[in-house]
Structure 1
Amino acid sequence: MEYHIETEHLILREIRIEDTGDLYRLDSNPVVHKYLGNKPISCMGKARHYIDYIIMQYEKYGIGRWATIEKSSGDFIGWSGLKMNFEEEMNGHINYYDIGYRFMPEYWGKGYATESSIAAKDYFFGHFPGHKLCGLAEIGNGASCRVLEKIGLERKDDFYYEKEDVDIAWFELEK
């Protein structure tokens, strides 16, 4: 599937195999993984595996994470978008739609997570009416929790995620 969504500062497009190097640069960065279980990847093969997973999400569910490109520079700054979580139960939920984002640190604090998440939320409710949108963030990651609240998701509860040994905040929005 091809996606092309433009916001004021960003281009959101499908993630492609040629993004493997950029995705590796993102996910091998320990600062990026501070609130993601502190487990950065260590090889390009894992980045490629993640891209294959995203492409499967496009084909099977009609959604997926999008490459996020800064318009002014043309730089790949990370990813934003949607995912169908069908593999793992999380806080008593399985088969739920998740909104998320991950950017290189030099692009934090510019409003890009909020801007891209509004576009993803609008896309979701335009294409999947009647479904619930969920979001989750490590409780210690106040910036991500604020983004989810800014785009209209309501914090429903907090839970302990044993697999990563972290406390997670759970958010939802239904339209």
Structure 2
Amino acid sequence: MKLIAETPRLILRELDFSDEKDLFEMDSDPAVHLYIENKPVESIAEITAVIKMLKRQYKENGVARWAVINKETNECIGWAGLKYYREPLNNRINFYELGYRFKTKHWGKGYASESSRAILDYAFKQLRIDVVFAITDPDNKKSKNVLTKLGFELTETFDYDGDITDWFELKKSQYRS
């Protein structure tokens, strides 16, 4: 499994089938899905399909969502990473979006900010991306706080499949690692 980044508390690496149980624990929790468009998963088979899709994205795009591993416990506590959009979204195409998702028992511990900083360093320094975008539900105050703390600016609100969604962006020139 390819190592992407390391922080004082976390390791970010490609997701693998060994992460299925941890991802199932996270994605079967209705609280995790409160502000996102998909519903909680009901089987490990659904997680297996997601991991297969992410492995294709690693090969096709060089990036995808990555496992976030707690160094102290070696537990996969969630995922974070970049998604490359080849299809249009909000009148843009061929762009990178930052995303993260964690088990509820790990919320409020700074893992979203810590892993996202490592991902942004990777995006701007290794991949030499000029701008990274992020989207979130306008009511998801915790996610909006993370994005603002990282330096993202809310630039617009748009209709995403019938849901009002906030659009954030962070330019490389404005990023402070």
How does the TM-score come out when normalised to structure 2? 0.90
Query: Where does residue 175 of structure 2 map in the other structure?
Result: none
Identical-pair percentage: 41
CA distance in 2, matches of 1:114, 1:15: 19
Q: Which amino acid aligns with 1:121?
A: L
Q: Which runs of 5+ in 1 are unaligned?
A: none
Q: Which amino acid aligns with 2:133?
A: C
- Which of 164, 167, 170 is matched with 2:167 structurally? 170
1:33-52 counterparts in 2 under 5 A?
A: 33-37=33-37, 39-52=39-52
Q: CA deviation at 1:70?
A: 1.3
Q: Which runs of 5+ in 2 are unaligned?
A: 173-177
Q: CA deviation at 1:159?
A: 1.4
Q: CA deviation at 1:138?
A: 0.6
| Native 8 Å contact 2:136 2:167 kept in 1 | yes
| Native 8 Å contact 1:30 1:38 kept in 2 | no
Count matched residues.
Answer: 172
SS of 1:81's partner is strand
CA distance in 2, matches of 1:6, 1:128: 16
RMSD: 1.5
| Native 8 Å contact 1:96 1:133 kept in 2 | yes
Higher helix share: 2
CA distance in 2, matches of 1:73, 1:19: 14
CA distance in 1, matches of 2:80, 2:45: 21
How does the TM-score come out when normalised to structure 1? 0.91
Q: Which one is further off, 96-105 or 63-72? A: 63-72
